Chain A
Amino acid sequence: MTDRRSERSWEKALRTAAMLSTGGALSGCDVLKLTVVNHAGPIAAAQWHLYVVVGIVLVFVAGPVLLLTPIMAWRYRLSNEHSTYKPKWDFSWWIEGLIWIPPTGIVIGLAFLLWTYTHRLDPYRPIASTQPTVEVQAVGLDWKWLFIYPDHHVAVINQLAIPVGRPIHLSLTSGTVMQSLMVPRLGGQIYAMAGMRTELNLAASQPGVFRGENTQYNGPGFPQQKFDVVALPAPDYDRWLARVRAAAHPLDTAAYAALFQRSVPAHPIYYSRTPDGFFGYIMSRFRSSPTENER
């Protein structure tokens, strides 16, 4: 699925139309660049595809009500003396069939679509690719995200650099209350909970900077808890890793203690070295009793 799905022409047209029309006059159409309409990875692309399909089906569901309601009300208004009046008419098998069967059929159809796509876009499902997967561990903190790259023993706060085209496998947990990670242009989202591990698979199909965020309210610093996902071509990604490693700022005891203090870092923070099994350690903080923890 990392091979970019060739977008059908009508979808492309719709995408352009959506970008142009909505709120164009208000100069608010910039906002659409942040949405899934402007998807930048295979998961978000598939989600947008599904949006379009479901949206088209739903036009046929909502349309009749939007048309019939005003038509019936106006046609049969009291002052219209040319309309029939049948006060005792209250049932027709034909109409019963019409209002029960087609909607049921549509829901059955949508149910198949839902089942298929829920499995295909399951956040836990690895993205099939010929390229090796990048492992990243994300820890939700107050009010920042820590991204650990276990294979490289480095970690970064509030910046998630990823190589373009390679699948990313995120493991998530929380060092505090529940949080939720989403990157609208790449896909999302999944909760991060203390003592538990959740997973999210993403990929970027083009280089760029995409906004990521926590969507679950967790205190006064919540609105600032945003981070950039930086999708880089492979050589740049390697250079970025080298830069993090060169930061000469290991995640030592002092840095560790600072992580769990409530704060909104002004800039991303690079940690050149992380202990082995750090993610597991943060998870286990909550598993044991406080006395065991102190040992």
Chain B
Amino acid sequence: MSASVWPAVLGRFEWHALPFVRAWENPTLNELIGAGAAAIVVVGAIALIALITLLGKWRYLWREWLTSLDHKRIGIMYVVLAFVMLSRALVEAMLMRLQQATAINAPGVVDPEHFAQLFSTHGSIMIFFMAMPFLTGAFNYVMPLQIGARDVAFPLLNSISLWLTGGAAGLMMISLVVGTFSTGGWSGYPPYTELAFSPGVGPDYWIWAVTLGSIASTLSGLNFAVTIYKKRCPGMTLMRMPLFVWTTLCTSILMIFAMPPLTVATALLALDRYLGFHFFTNDLGGNMMNYANLFWLFGHPEVYVLILPAFGVYSEVVSTFSSKELYGYTSLVLATMAIAVLSFTVWVHHFFAMGQSANINAVFGIATMTIGVPTGVKIYDWIWTMFRGQVRFTVPMLYSLAFMMTFVLGGFTGIILAFPPLDYLVHNTLFLVAHFHNMLIPGLLYGMLAGYHYWFPKAFGFRLDEKWGRVSFGCWVIGFYLAFMPLYVLGAAGMARRTQEVFEPSFRPWLYVAGVGALILFGALASLFVQLWVSIRDREANRVTAGDPWDGRGLEWSTSAPPPDYNFALLPQVRGRDPFYDGKRDGDPYAPPPEYHPIELPRNSMTGPVLGIVGTALAFGLVWHMWWLAILGTVMIVATIIARSFARDVHRTIPVHEIERTEAHWLAAVAAARAIPRQLEMTPLNQGLAAVTR
């Protein structure tokens, strides 16, 4: 083959795009770290493939999981993805803390370019590939069960969303092995990310990963909103929906309206980079301020996309573990809606320093503070829910309490940042970094972990280990305070975010403390994995097959654990806000219905995995200018969609005898279980049947 053929096949790829080659030629610590990370990805992938092959589980995996359209399976896969990406991004965070702690008047362990990639991938992953999958997974698993539905409105679309997100996350992992990632931060501000200043593949990886992720999230938002509008069971009026469903609805609406500006922003940036347009360049009439506005028009509602789901989890958890009705349901609904609407009116506060008039800054500053009111109301509603209740300090409840105490501190600094004159002094510094971690760690991560501990027994049929759960909780809380409180001080002293080297010796003690905090946070994640291991090992002792380990209130607790494919043998009939809790007290919720009917469920489809894989191939082709691959990917996407449109047999029917057998099996477990009082819910005596106190 002549030499001129290779560029057509490989595009911009050359051997130095591989970190192994770079590390071989120049074995510095910096390159070795890069090669080590790439090796983990490669070895991890090979080990996973080998393990599945050895266990002979490919067919099982393909049939039961990868092609499944069951919202519960899809939800679990989302959460698995979130944990994988959380692990990577947390390790990156540790590395950044290590760098800053060792780079005081010294070069540290990673060079500037590498450090810039670390903060860019850390931010992009945590937002788009940890937080978004985690909350989307929680919605997927819980919301249809809570509204008494058999699945989401568009199960195939759901699978496509999952696979686009997975493909985008895969692209992030590929960028670790082939080429380099963007150095422009998670917000990818041009003109820095334009060709003139970042000619490499980095910003293109960022653009396409974020584009795939944002399309997936828009589709998810549409799917959840329609599900909630159209698939509620009889009697489930809007004002009887559990608060988690309300926050799902508000989040979905935010996704529908906030994700497209991001898709547009990244698409315009792509036009600049690929086709010589000048939307955001310095010259020829380009203006990056348009990008800033588009990005934050997404970016601020996104903050509430991340936080509202956790608010929903806390509403469920606090009420359940206080054995009490949620205080101020209507208030909470109004507050949630108010937050969702207001979130679209504050985006300018992300760039008060861009030279707008004082009037504009003041209006957006006041709008920002206004969000504090409904948020405060929500926190008080949870406090008053505990009032005259019976509070149990289970792991989800501990997360909720830690959230309330910590989040309010983030609110404190948030109001400071809402004042433009105060923002000027800390904008772009570690103060800001401390602030948004102070919002997102309690307001997203704690919430998702609370939900994980709360609904895990429902999803897998056994409880998670309490002891390791507490260890992990303790580490997340202590680690957070140690890692981020010093950043407030450093930020106030003018330490800019994204600083790879420090020239101020007085920062040293603070950076050390933050570094220790990062280590403890890593311990927290490790404890979560230990907990999972221990819980799986001891699963037989902690079974809660009867399905109601916490004396739950919503419909999701009225099924077996794990629930059957069809969720409910008969669609429930709802008469109040806490249908299962009241049902247990007013009658026998476990009484079998007089007769069963066949149930129709969506048949598995390979459309999702195929679209995810070819979508990633398309993106990879675009990143490396392998035009043949990009064209092939596009053709394959169109072909897949056309092929799917010919599929007629898209449902499967579950016959009555199978339903009878499944239900009988569960009801036998209920009959055999001992009803336990709340004092024993954290012990192995808990078999998922609650003793009813009237």
Contacts and interface: CB of A to CB of B under 8 A. Distances in A.
Interface of A: 22-23, 26-28, 30-37, 44, 46-47, 50-51, 54-55, 58, 61-62, 65-66, 68-70, 72-73, 76-79, 83-91, 95-96, 98-100, 103-104, 107, 110-111, 113-115, 117-125, 176-178, 180, 182, 184, 187-191, 193-196, 198-199, 211, 213-224, 226, 285-290
The size bracket of the interface on B is: 35 or more
B362 A118 contact: yes
B282 interface: yes
B428 interface: yes
B283 interface: yes
Contact of B679 (A66, A78, A107): A78
Given A58-B415, A76-B388, A222 B112 contact: yes
Contact of B289 (A36, A62, A111, A193): A193
Given A31-B493, A73-B391, A85-B388, A184 B425 contact: yes
Given A31-B507, A189-B427, A219 B197 contact: yes
Given A69-B401, A178-B192, A199 B377 contact: no
Given A47-B425, A78-B391, A223-B502, A31 B386 contact: no
B384 A95 contact: yes
Given A217-B116, A222-B500, A223-B502, 4 more contacts: A78-B678, A99-B328, A111-B369, A191-B353
Interface in B356-381: 357-359, 361-362, 365-366, 369-370, 372-373, 376-377, 379-381
Contact of B355 (A33, A37, A199, A223): A199
Contacts of B362: 114-115, 118-119
A288 B282 CA distance: 10
A219 to B, nearest CB: 7
B30 to A, nearest CB: 12
5 contacts: A35-B494, A47-B424, A87-B389, A217-B498, A222-B500
Given A34-B506, A184-B494, A189-B427, A100 B373 contact: yes
Interface string B62-73: 000000000000
Contacts of A72: 383-384, 386-387, 391
B521 interface: no
Contacts of A68: 380, 383
A32 B369 contact: no
B326 A90 contact: yes
Nearest to B504: A34
Contacts of B683: none
Given A50-B422, A76-B322, A78-B390, A118 B328 contact: no
A84 B688 CA distance: 27
Interface string B496-514: 1111111110111110010
A87 B326 CA distance: 9
A69 B396 CA distance: 15
Contacts of B185: 217
B324 A89 contact: yes
A10 B282 CA distance: 49
Residue picked from A28, A70, A117, A214, most chain B C-beta under 10 Å: A28
A28 to B, nearest CB: 4
B405 A23 contact: no
B288 interface: yes
Given A182-B494, A219-B197, A124 B355 contact: yes
Contacts, number: 307
B240 to A, nearest CB: 14
Nearest to A211: B494
B420 A118 contact: yes
Interface string B375-417: 0110111011111111111000100010011001101100110
Contacts of A85: 323, 388-390
Contacts of A70: 401, 405
B428 A118 contact: no
Interface of B: 111-113, 116, 183-185, 189, 191-192, 197, 282-284, 288-289, 322-329, 331, 351, 353-355, 357-359, 361-362, 365-366, 369-370, 372-373, 376-377, 379-381, 383-393, 397, 401, 404-405, 408-409, 411-412, 415-416, 418-422, 424-425, 427-429, 489-490, 492-494, 496-504, 506-510, 513, 678-679
B427 A218 contact: no
A76 B401 CA distance: 13
Contacts of B379: 65
Residue picked from B376, B393, B397, B412, most chain A C-beta under 10 Å: B376
Given A88-B325, A118-B358, A189 B418 contact: no
A219 B117 CA distance: 11
Given A100-B373, A107-B373, A178 B421 contact: no
B429 A215 contact: yes
Contacts of A91: 327-328
Nearest to B410: A62
A215 to B, nearest CB: 4
Contacts of B393: 73, 77
A86 to B, nearest CB: 4
Given A23-B509, A189-B353, A83 B388 contact: yes
B424 A289 contact: no
Given A47-B421, A61-B412, A226-B503, A26 B509 contact: yes
Contacts of A226: 503
B427 A289 contact: no
B466 to A, nearest CB: 15
B355 A198 contact: yes
A87 B428 CA distance: 47
Contacts of B502: 223
B376 A61 contact: yes
Given A87-B325, A180-B353, A222-B498, A217 B192 contact: yes
Given A76-B388, A114-B419, A95 B425 contact: no
A50 B419 contact: yes
Contacts of B492: 32, 35-37, 184
A189 B385 CA distance: 43
Identify the 9 closest CB pairs spanning chains A and B, nearest first: A215-B428, A220-B112, A30-B506, A121-B421, A28-B509, A184-B494, A122-B358, A90-B325, A99-B380
Nearest to A116: B362
B186 to A, nearest CB: 11
A69 B404 contact: yes
B331 to A, nearest CB: 6
Contacts of B112: 219-223
B102 to A, nearest CB: 14
A31 B489 contact: yes
Contacts of B405: 65-66, 69-70
Residue picked from A70, A72, A176, most chain B C-beta under 10 Å: A72
A107 B355 contact: no
A194 B282 contact: yes
A50 B499 CA distance: 28
Contacts of B183: 217, 219
A189 B496 contact: no
Residue picked from B370, B383, B404, B411, most chain A C-beta under 10 Å: B383
A187 B498 contact: no
B395 to A, nearest CB: 14
B328 A90 contact: yes
Residue picked from B397, B401, B424, B507, most chain A C-beta under 10 Å: B424
Contacts of A96: 328, 331
A101 B194 CA distance: 48
